[in-house]
Amino acid sequence: MHGHRPRTPEADRSRRWFMNKALLAGGVAAVATMTGCSSDASGTATASSSSGAPNGAPSGGPGGGMPTGAMPSGGPGGGGNGMGPGQSEVKYADFKGVTTDGKITDGLYSIHSTDVSTDGIVKAAQAFLDGLSAKERKSCTFDVDNDEWLAWSNVDGYQRKGVRMGDITAKKRDLGYALLGAALSADGLTQTRNIMKLNAFLGDYSGGNRDTLTEGAYFFTFMGTPSTTKPWGFQYEGHHVAINFFVLGDQVVMTPTFMGSEPTSATYKGEKITLFKPETKAGLTLLRSLTAAQRAKVISSTKKSGDDMKAGAGQDNAKLAYQGLVAKGFTSAQKQNLLDLVRVYVGNMNDGHAEVKMSEVEDHLDATYFYWMGETKDSSAFYYRVHSPVVLIEYDAQSPLAYGTKGGMGGPNGTPTQQHIHTIIRTPNGGDYGVDLLKLHLDNDH
């Protein structure tokens, strides 16, 4: 047994309030919600963070900063980008995964040997847990089928559980980064760390005094006990990052993984950081390799809204029909461009298991759809989707919410920009969080 059982209704109260109140409150109340406030008994918004800013809202910073009362980066939208706005958190027992019509396609996943060792990941996870105090460890350990798997959000003000990186010693943080280094590829680790750095940049840009906009505002939780034979996993989560990593033997599932940033390019502590260039370039490369007739079927509109993501946080059981053009008729070169695009996202996982996943994707390549909204210039803000029975990828250039919003131009009605990008990769048909593998394990091995 672990430190927690599934959350009780009382324990869920603050999160449920956060998720369900954001749009229902509307106007200033919704903004207050997203800036890390809670509600008192009278319904009045009250600051819940340690920020010294009024109502939890940051003051103007360098270059104009965030306008007073503006919604922070990563706020939820109708497209499913964060917990809130009409969305609800799915319980583990009710998890079905993303499907095209609410019905799971069976027979897609199996328990088998990948011949890619997870020993290093297990050792790194155990070393991190062993380095924690008893209280810290209890706060971040859950049963392998706990609802906590599905309780992630990309929003900065969301109330998270687990061990907060900024609250532990540097030595313990290093053990946490070592775990990420074992689970992720070098590129995946760099991207994760750079998202954290630009989160801190946004905090400075917004006037400081926001403990959610720092490098330390990221949390580890563990489901099950690290093992080379028994199912377990971990989650690493904070503003614009949510990595869900499930392990069963030498099999790994690293979905859903959400990565985003606002801004996507800035200088932080003398380091120039630019994010999502490979994701942007690979999408454009595939699109531009298509014929005019193919592009006519892929591109639904040259316009896009400020938030088009469909399978973000809180959308674990989303129904999402295939759209765009299926790759069955692609040329060999076009299919390679599609695989190159998928590899950008899958490649955030450690190299060996990334190759295992790419083989799975390739097996279903002819059933993979490519879809696009928006213009197609190098600098355009656009949305694209890659969708097959075994992989779902979304890239969404969104409206500015916190960066470059001087004069009050932020919010959902602002013009989308590549300075605010959200991405997600999922395993449809029950594969996320390793749920299907866990069910197979329990049905066949126990």
Share of the chain above pLDDT 90, in %: 75
Tokens of 407: 């004069």
Cβ pair 304, 374 in contact under 8 A: yes
Share of the chain above pLDDT 70, in %: 78
Handedness of CA 87, 148, 222, 121 (dihedral sign): negative
Averaged pLDDT, 418-434: 98
Rounded Cα–Cα distance for residues 98 and 105 (Å): 10
Tokens of 99: 């499907």
Rounded Cα–Cα distance for residues 316 and 325 (Å): 24
Q: Which pLDDT belongs to residue 412?
A: 53
Higher pLDDT, 57 or 186: 186
Q: pLDDT category, 55, cuts 50, 70, 90?
A: very low
Q: Which pLDDT belongs to residue 157?
A: 87
Would you say residue 22 has pLDDT above 60? no
pLDDT of 102-139, one tens digit each?
999 999 999 999 999 999 999 999 999 999 999 999 99
Q: Which pLDDT belongs to residue 64?
A: 36
Averaged pLDDT, 223-243: 98
Tokens of 132: 């924690």
Averaged pLDDT, 39-50: 30
Q: Which pLDDT belongs to residue 414?
A: 83
H or E, element range at 284: helix 277-289
Would you say residue 420 has pLDDT above 60? yes
Q: What is the average pLDDT score of the chain?
A: 84
Rounded Cα–Cα distance for residues 144 and 253 (Å): 14
CB atoms within 10 A of CB 182: 18
Most confident of 6-10, 82-86, 412-416, 430-434: 430-434
Averaged pLDDT, 67-87: 44
Q: Given phi > 0 = left and psi -120 to 50 = alpha, else beta, which region is 142?
A: beta
Least confident of 8-17, 19-28, 149-158, 197-206: 19-28
Buried b (16+ CB within 10 A) or exposed e, 2-28: bbbeebeeeeeeebeebbbbbbebeee
Would you say residue 57 has pLDDT above 80? no
Would you say residue 44 has pLDDT above 70? no
Shortest CA distance to 309 belongs to which of 396, 410, 199?
396
Cβ pair 19, 87 in contact under 8 A: yes
Q: Which pLDDT belongs to residue 201?
A: 97
Q: Which pLDDT belongs to residue 294?
A: 98
Q: Which pLDDT belongs to residue 373?
A: 98
